[in-house]
């Protein structure tokens, strides 16, 4: 009986030592030829929160020297510092502790396989195929575009996509009215029948207080989707109409406004966007930061000089985005800081101002110039696609939409 108990205790120690929870270890012959047969240990595991690929492999009793060697080869193809919880791997190791192969699954899409040959470890990347589903959604705005998508039980990120397309034409903080209608045709991306994200917007239509706005997607030479009106004019302008999305305006541009803290009348040269602390604030256009620091009643403040005409200003920030300092160049839409209530502020909001030739102007009243129109040699191709997209935007149901490389199917909402 004592001998049986001893054997049982030894088996428990071995099982625990192999980290059976989350780890699979299987021995199999390395060759079908009995004369050359040597056993191969197969180890499979998944990374836990805060665990590196190196730490996990060593914890699974793979010799550290072997782990370093194979990960050195793997690091030439993938940044191992970006390993995330849920990433998985399978290792084949012989009885001497030599790693014969490593298959590392990074996220849902990427697989990296490292195999040992006479020259060392050779690494190959495999990418899972993606499929696209083209969808059409139409609806009516009652309170906000965001709420409209929530009411339809649709992903509100699609609302952001629609707002981005019309970002230079419509300020979704001030322009939407109850009864506005919209249609959007866009791609959803799938891998192994699982939705992994949203693709490009193919076309969009928004009717705001009776005025129709149309957008047609057309890729540039680098494959990036650009958006144009029905005549091929770019919807993109030099500046965005708003530095943040989906919040309310609490105070408008005024030459005489009663200050809620100082209790005096004085000019308010900006537009106050009320938003929760931490809401990202983006620059409305390309430019160079001329000031980033504390500025009296405006608290944490960023000023960006865009050209010889326009300068934009952002006040009451809770903090600056990483790398934001004087002299740094920024791109349109880049996050420069986060909404706060620093300086003289009764609550979290962004004080947004624009200077033209050094004097403050009402940001909501500026008609910014457009970007370059579609090249002449691309217009015939664009107009052909425009007509197909337009039939989808104005029809009750989608009859057809432009083909994509993946050959999408179409679903109407």
Mean pLDDT by 10 residues, the chain (413 residues): 46 40 50 57 91 93 91 90 90 89 89 91 88 92 87 88 86 81 94 86 94 94 90 87 57 40 50 85 94 95 93 95 96 92 89 90 81 86 94 64 39 45
Amino acid 345: pLDDT? 86
CATH number, domain at 173? 3.10.450.350
Note down the domain range covering 336.
248-365
For residue 257, give the nearest of 266, 248, 244 by alpha carbon: 266
DSSP-derived secondary structure for 339-362 = EB--SS-SSSEEEEEEEETTEEE-
- Asked if residue 5 is part of any domain, the answer here is no
Amino acid 136: pLDDT? 94
- Asked if residue 78 is part of any domain, the answer here is yes
- Asked if residue 9 is part of any domain, the answer here is no
Place of tokens 């992903």: 155
Amino acid 2: pLDDT? 47
Same domain, 179 and 324: no
- The alpha-carbon radius of gyration of the chain (Å, integer) is 29
CA distance 237 to 284: 10
- Asked if residue 103 is part of any domain, the answer here is yes
- Asked if residue 6 is part of any domain, the answer here is no
CA distance 247 to 173: 6
Place of tokens 């090249």: 375
- H/E stretch holding 85 reads none
Same domain, 73 and 141: no
CATH number, domain at 297? 2.70.70.10
Chosen domain end from 127, 153, 169: 127
Same domain, 229 and 374: yes
Same domain, 387 and 304: no
Same domain, 376 and 361: no
Chosen domain end from 105, 127, 149: 127
Amino acid 38: pLDDT? 59
Q: How far is CA 304 from CA 158, 283, 311, 361, in A?
A: 30, 8, 6, 15
Same domain, 355 and 399: no
Place of tokens 């047609």: 216
Residues 269 and 364 sit within 8 Å (Cβ to Cβ)? no
Same domain, 140 and 180: yes
DSSP-derived secondary structure for 99-114 = EEEEEEEETTTEEEEE
For residue 368, give the nearest of 356, 352, 351 by alpha carbon: 356
Please indicate, yes or no, whether the overall pTM of this predicted structure exceeds 0.85.
no
CA distance 325 to 110: 36
- Asked if residue 13 is part of any domain, the answer here is no
Our count of domains for the chain comes to 3
Residues 59 and 47 sit within 8 Å (Cβ to Cβ)? no
Same domain, 152 and 232: yes
pLDDT, tens digit (0-9, with 9 covering 90-100), for 36-73: 455 788 999 999 988 999 999 999 999 999 999 999 99
Same domain, 206 and 304: no
Residues 337 and 361 sit within 8 Å (Cβ to Cβ)? no
- Asked if residue 7 is part of any domain, the answer here is no
Same domain, 136 and 162: yes
Same domain, 375 and 230: yes
Chosen domain end from 99, 127, 155: 127
Same domain, 95 and 204: no
């Amino acid at each position: 009986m004592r001998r049986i108990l001893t054997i049982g205790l030894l088996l428990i120690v071995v099982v625990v030592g192999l980290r059976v929870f989350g780890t699979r270890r299987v021995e199999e012959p390395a060759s079908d030829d009995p004369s050359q047969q040597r056993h191969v240990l197969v180890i499979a595991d998944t990374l836990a929160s805060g665990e590196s690929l190196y730490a996990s492999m060593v914890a699974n009793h793979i010799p550290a020297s072997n782990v370093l060697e194979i990960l050195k080869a793997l690091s030439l193809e993938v940044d191992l510092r970006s390993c995330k919880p849920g990433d998985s791997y399978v290792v084949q190791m012989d009885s001497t502790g030599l790693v014969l192969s490593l298959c590392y699954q990074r996220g849902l899409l990427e697989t990296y396989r490292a195999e040992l040959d006479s020259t060392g470890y050779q690494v190959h990347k495999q990418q899972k195929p993606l499929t696209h589903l083209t969808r059409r959604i139409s609806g009516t705005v009652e309170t906000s575009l965001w709420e409209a998508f929530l009411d339809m039980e649709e992903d509100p990120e699609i609302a952001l996509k629609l707002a981005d397309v019309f970002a230079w034409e419509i300020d979704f903080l001030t322009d939407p009215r109850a009864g506005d209608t919209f249609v959007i045709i866009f791609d959803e991306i799938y891998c192994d029948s699982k939705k992994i994200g949203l693709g490009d917007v193919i076309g969009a239509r928004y009717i705001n207080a009776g005025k129709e706005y149309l957008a047609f997607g057309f890729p540039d030479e680098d494959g990036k989707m650009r958006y144009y009106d029905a005549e091929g004019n770019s919807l993109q302008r030099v500046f965005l109409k708003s530095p943040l999305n989906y919040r309310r305006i609490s105070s408008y541009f005024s030459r005489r406004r009663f200050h809620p803290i100082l209790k005096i009348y004085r000019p308010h040269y900006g537009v106050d966007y009320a938003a929760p602390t931490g809401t990202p604030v983006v620059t409305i256009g390309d430019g160079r930061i001329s000031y980033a620091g504390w500025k009296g009643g405006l608290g944490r403040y960023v000023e960006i000089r865009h050209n010889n005409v326009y300068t934009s200003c952002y006040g009451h920030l809770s903090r600056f985005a990483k790398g934001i300092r004087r002299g740094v160049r920024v791109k349109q839409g880049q996050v420069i800081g986060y909404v706060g209530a620093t300086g003289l502020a009764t609550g979290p909001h962004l004080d947004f101002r624009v200077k033209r030739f050094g004097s403050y102007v009402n940001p909501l009243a500026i008609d910014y110039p457009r970007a370059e129109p579609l090249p002449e040699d691309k217009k015939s191709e664009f107009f052909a696609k425009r007509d197909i997209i337009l039939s989808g935007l104005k029809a009750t149901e989608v009859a057809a939409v432009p083909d994509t490389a993946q050959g999408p199917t179409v679903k109407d909402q």
